[in-house]
């Protein structure tokens, strides 16, 4: 029973394939953004790659806000032992 179970992400080749596949999918979606017509209510939502940039910025802001919030709500290591 010394044999470990192998998962598909244990092989570096599969990780590389997944990484490259995500890049290709992202590039295809950006290319579709040039071709497809958008029916938006606001003019700024029609900018090229608006939703991708907005999502990235929102994610970065959430991470920074979580780091700041951690400083406010963090308790000492022995909080429950007291």
Q: What is the pLDDT of residues 19-70, one digit of tens each?
A: 999 999 999 998 998 888 888 899 988 888 898 899 999 999 999 999 999 9
What pTM does this model have?
A: 0.65
Is residue 62 a contact partner of residue 69, using CB atoms and an 8 Å limit? Answer: no
Three-state secondary structure along the chain?
CCCCCCCHHHCHHHHHHHHHHHHHHHHHHHHHHHHCCCCCCCHHHHCCCHHHHHHHHHHHHHHHHHHHHHHHHCCCCCCCCC
pLDDT band at residue 1 using 50, 70 and 90 as cut-offs: low
Residue 76, phi then psi, degrees to nearest 5: -70, 165
pLDDT band at residue 2 using 50, 70 and 90 as cut-offs: low
């Amino acid at each position: 029973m010394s044999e470990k179970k192998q998962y598909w992400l244990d092989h570096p080749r599969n990780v590389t394939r997944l990484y490259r596949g995500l890049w290709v999918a992202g590039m295809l979606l950006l290319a579709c953004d040039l071709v497809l017509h958008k029916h938006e209510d606001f003019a700024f939502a029609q900018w090229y790659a608006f939703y991708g940039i907005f999502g990235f910025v929102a994610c970065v802001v959430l991470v920074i806000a979580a780091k700041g919030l951690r400083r406010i709500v963090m308790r000492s290591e022995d909080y429950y032992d007291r």
